[in-house]
Structure 1
């Protein structure tokens, strides 16, 4: 059975402001973008072999607002210690410092970073156990 591709889409007021966080910090690649498609601009970011990608859209003439709460998270599980350290170092080199997690659970084995819209990403140094 093939695995479906997951697209996580959310609005933003400024897709260009998010680019350094997701591309330079998290290591995503720009996999697509569009301008003024039925009143929307968009930016899609992903990893070459990952079955997911992110889409950020801006609707002309509308304010998107920011994250509704500090618990709106994307969590990336990185069980390999070297890979986790490299990911954290990449975020710091791109100019992003960790923030305290709202839920202290995430601080036990990971670090949380906040994007320019106020949404948070957790780099969790653990394996996802099913």
Structure 2
């Protein structure tokens, strides 16, 4: 049986800034992008072999109302310390600053960053086991 894939889709007013944060800062790859597809422009970012990707879209003439709060999280589990530190360093090199997590649990093994839309992204230096 094939494992399902996850797409997190989110509208934005700041598509170029989000691409910079997730691609240049976090190191995700552009999997595909589109322009004027039924009035929408967008990009899908992720890792080619990962079972997830992030889709960000914008629509000309439409303003997206802000929706984040400190508990809206994307959590990336990076168990390898070198890989985790490289991701943290890359975000910092692009001018992003970590902030205390609303839930202190995330501060024990991770760092939290805010994307340009105000959503929190946690880089957790741990293996996800369930």
**TM-score bucket of the superposed structures, by smaller chain:** over 0.9
> CA-to-partner distance for each residue in 1:80-121, whole Å, 9 max, x for gaps?
111111111111112211011111111111000101000111
Q: Which residues of structure 1 form unaligned runs of 5+? A: none
1:24 CA displacement: 0.9
Runs of 4+ in 1 over 6 A off after TM superposition: none
Aligned to 1:26: 26
Counterpart CA distance in 1 for 2:66 and 2:20 is 17
1:119 correspondence with 2:106: no
Counterpart CA distance in 2 for 1:124 and 1:62 is 34
Aligned 8 A contact 1:66 1:119 in 2: no
> CA-to-partner distance for each residue in 1:50-75, whole Å, 9 max, x for gaps?
11110001122221123331111000
Aligned to 1:46: 46
TM-score, length-normalised on structure 2?
Answer: 0.94
SS in 2 for 1:8: strand
Aligned to 2:3: 3
Counterpart CA distance in 1 for 2:112 and 2:67 is 15
